[in-house]
Amino acid sequence: MKNSTPQFTRRTALTVSLGLLTQAPAWSQAYPARPVRILVGYAAGGAVDAIARTIGQALNATLKQTFVIENKPGAGSNIAIKATIEAPADGYTLLMAANALPANMALFQPKPFDAERDLTPVALIGRVPVVIAANVNAPYSTIKELITAAKAKPGHISFASPGNGATPHLAVEFFKRAAGISLLHIPYRGGAPAITDVIGGQLPLVAVNALEVLPHVKSGKLKVIAVLSTSRSPIFPETPTIAESGFPGFEASVWYGLMAPFATPKNIVEQLHAEVQKALQTPEVRQKMTQVGGELAPGNIDMFAKLISSERIRYEKLIREANIKPD
């Protein structure tokens, strides 16, 4: 009597195996299998762009794949943020985020996105301090002298920033509250024109990130009177921090970190996180962070997620109380 059960031949097994392979999801392939985009919400040449390119080069080397930096400036970096949120959650679109990510949720109405719902943190990379720089002929050279002058004439001393709601503007607002002083904010469209007017004497102070004022300090056109972070900047090692100047724990630096669309597979997020941690230990990345005046911030994903949440709460309170509106 013949066995009526179908024979499971080698050919059948091969056919089934090939069928399963063709049905496997794309993300199950070795990652990355094609170039990866890192979106930057700022123009080329700035600190965020420089750090993104350095991290991209490090990932190129370790993952043997191209990481392409795409600059999408505009709307306070919201264009790049929204493009990342709307991209497929497959690990091939990342965002080099900064403080604007949590701040913009309170600054723009209606709320343009929810960073904790729409994105997932990959890795915190580092911090670059905001500095307060002054015209070389300004009558104050230290933060204590500025506080004394501001208290003598409340609201009479003006400071420039790259724009309403920009990180340097918000950093000075935090400082004003900590010091109990009143300064007049003059918003510009970018750090360069603000710096130009302070050098020209149109107003005495400017708040920007450390890298932007470095060439002007070296040429003797500006003087840095305060670093708004907990640690001194490697490019301005002689300038005390706000924390050293009577405000322990004061922190208002610019941080940078990689984000991905929310549903990006966990294994890809963890792989990218591990590779970034390796990159932060390389001489090239360390050197670049020093060149832009900052410090590296290695740590786990949960730490980065908690930072974003705490920053959102902090900025919501400041923006509401100071009634800050975007440009």
pLDDT digits (tens, 9 = 90+) for 248-260: 989 889 999 999 9
Edge-first strand order for the sheet with 130-135 is 184-187, 158-161, 205-209, 130-135, 222-227
Q: Which residue has the tokens 């970190």?
A: 257
Q: Compute CA distances 223 → 87, 101, 242, 282, 294, whole Å.
A: 43, 30, 16, 32, 18
Homologous superfamily of the 130-245 domain (CATH): Periplasmic binding protein-like II (3.40.190.10)
Contact in structure between 58 and 285 (CB atoms under 8 Å):
yes
* Residue-level pLDDT at 19: 43
pLDDT-derived band at 39, boundaries 50, 70, 90: very high
Contact in structure between 131 and 160 (CB atoms under 8 Å):
no
pLDDT(213) > 80 = yes
Q: Compute CA distances 128 → 46, 79, 210, 296, whole Å.
A: 12, 23, 7, 9
d(CA 17, CA 22): 9
pLDDT(56) > 60 = yes
Contact in structure between 226 and 241 (CB atoms under 8 Å):
yes
* Residue-level pLDDT at 2: 44
Judge residue 277's burial from the number of C-beta atoms within 10 Å of its C-beta, 0-12 exposed, 13-18 middle, 19 or more buried: middle
pLDDT digits 0-9 by tens, 228-284 = 988 899 999 999 999 999 999 898 899 999 999 999 999 999 999 999 999 999 999
Per CATH, 34-128+255-322 and 130-245 having the same topology is answered yes
Average pLDDT over residues 28-37: 90
- pTM of structure: 0.87
pLDDT(292) > 50 = yes
What are the extents of the domains in the chain? 34-128+255-322, 130-245
Average pLDDT over residues 128-140: 96
258 CB-near residues (< 8 Å, 6+ apart): 38, 55, 94, 95, 96, 97, 121, 122, 123, 125, 272, 276
* Residue-level pLDDT at 28: 52
CATH (residue range 34-128+255-322): 3.40.190.150
Judge residue 237's burial from the number of C-beta atoms within 10 Å of its C-beta, 0-12 exposed, 13-18 middle, 19 or more buried: exposed
pLDDT(24) > 70 = no
* Residue-level pLDDT at 223: 98
